[in-house]
Structure 1
Amino acid sequence: MTETINLALGLGFLLGLKHATEADHIVAVSTIVSEQRSVWRSALVGALWGLGHTLSLLIAGLVVILFRVAIPERAATYLEFAVALMIILLGSHVLYRVLRDNRRVHVHAHEHDGYAHTHLHFHDERSAHDPREAQHHARHAHIIGNLGWKPLLVGMMHGLAGSAALTLLVLTEVMRGGSSALGLAYLLIFGIGSIGGMLLMSALISLPFVFTAERFARINTPIRLLAGLGSVVFGFYYAWEVWVG
């Protein structure tokens, strides 16, 4: 019996590690990591994602255990579709940030005759300036929230959607041969595995962004643009796949 429990918990940890490498998770976290300038902060982003993911799993697990209910398939589909929309928004935000922070091409907000509007603004090399000079307050607010609520909430959304439903099915199987405590222990071990897996993945993903930001600034902007554009394209593909499937 003890060997069976250890095997189930060990399997949960390995599945958590694998869970962190799924495409939608990698794409979503890469959009957040692309805005970081250190491997340590990027790894922290992954850890926060894993923490949010684990919290939502534990909450859903408690609901399953206490009320003996299963997550409806329709609800799981809606949650997956919401994840796809979230990935599109994350990618769009990266594109906006890259354009706003670029010295030659970025977004400007103007007000004329009492009406405010935003548009792309182009500079030549001589008149180029750092748009962050006029966006200091917004950038400061972004930094405050960047390592807190964003990766945490993104992780929580992923925890409720997609393969999280499969995890709860495994939880049900574990409880058939054990107890509620064993079921929660399985989810916790699974969550620890996902935290460790995403921490490592985020650190690895951050390497091209951090390296080019330090030494090859001209390459950093195209890489960030590709990350944002790739996220938007993947988000639309994922939404289409979920909706058609």
Structure 2
Amino acid sequence: MFEFNLLTFLTVGFVLGLRHALDADHLAAVSTVLAERPSMRASGLVGLWWGVGHTLTLLIVGAVVLVSGIHIPEPLALLAECGVGLLLVVLGGTLALKLFRERWHLHRHVHDGEPHVHLHSHQRREDHAHPHWTRQSLRPLLIGMAHGVAGSAALMLVIASNTSGIAQGLLYIAVFGLGSIGGMLMIGLTLSVPVIYSQAVGQRAFFAVQSAASLGSVGLGLWMLYRLVLSPDGL
């Protein structure tokens, strides 16, 4: 009976990890990173390293909490959530700055007697060199770790009320983490489809997708900060 209950508990943890990957702040952060370097391989690496960073932080925090018996203070949990909101604003703003530096703008021309307006960049070229993606794996890893800190408080409450020991608690975190890694890997690959397709359609469509990712990340980050800090209802 004990083994059956543990297996059920771990299965639920894995499913919750998959579901956890679908949180809006996770999607916004990953889509912002993917919009800068569209490819299936890059998308898979972003999702993978985000999940690894997320799981790594949860394991570290979980080990400290389970061994010491301390609880994560509510102010600290609130500060971590605010950090995620600020991170989303920075990610979206960084992408917007990148688009601005590439000098995207509208040109107005006359073709066959008809005015014509199109989007143009003086910097982006088909042969534009990019650094190897493995050099940038640290970025999604750190982003995942930041999200792991923010989500650790709620997860520790679940573990404290459903596990009977340190080993069982860490096992649950590991299985939960595997679920989040798998979920983010699938999400990264899925989100890469519209980004890659927009690039194939044309620079205008690609710019629109990148702009949407930037605005979405900044908007969600500001909303989180308002909800957590300025809203009378707080959390």
TM range (shorter): 0.7 to 0.9
Distance verdict in 2 for CA 1:181–1:129, change over 3 Å: closer
Tell me the residue number matched to 1:200: 186
Other structure's SS at 1:80 match: helix
Partner in structure 1 of residue 122 of structure 2: 130
Post-superposition, which runs of at least 4 consecutive aligned residues in structure 1 deviate over 4 A? 122-125, 139-145
CA apart distance, 1:217: 2.2
Q: Distance in 2 between matches of 1:145 and 1:78?
A: 30
Match of 1:56 in 2: 57
Work out the CA distance in 2 between the residues paired with 1:62 and 1:203: 31
State the 1:169 CA deviation.
Answer: 1.1
Post-superposition Cα deviations, 1:47-89, rounded to whole Å, max 9, x if no partner, equal: 1100000000000011011111111011000010011000000
Matched to 1:195, the amino acid is I
Q: Quote how far apart the aligned CAs of 1:142 are.
A: 8.9
The within-5 A match list for 1:1-245 is: 1-102=2-103, 104-105=104-105, 130-131=122-123, 140=130, 145-146=135-136, 148-161=137-150, 163-176=151-164, 179-243=165-229, 244=231, 245=234
| Alpha-carbon shift at residue 173 of structure 1 (Å) | 2.1
Structure 2 gap segments, 5+ residues each:
110-119
In 1: Cα distance, 2:191 partner to 2:75 partner: 33
TM-score normalized with structure 1 length: 0.82
Structure 1's unaligned 5+ residue stretches are 106-121
**Identity across matched positions, percent:** 38
SS in structure 2 at match of 1:130: coil
Q: Are the structure 2 counterparts of residues 156 and 167 from structure 1 closer, same or farther at C-alpha, using a change threshold of 3 Å?
A: same
**TM-score scaled to structure 2, two decimals?**
0.86
AA partner of residue 96 (structure 2): L
- What is the count of residue pairs matched by the alignment? 219
Q: Find the aligned partners of 2:194 and 2:42 in 1 and give their Cα distance.
A: 14
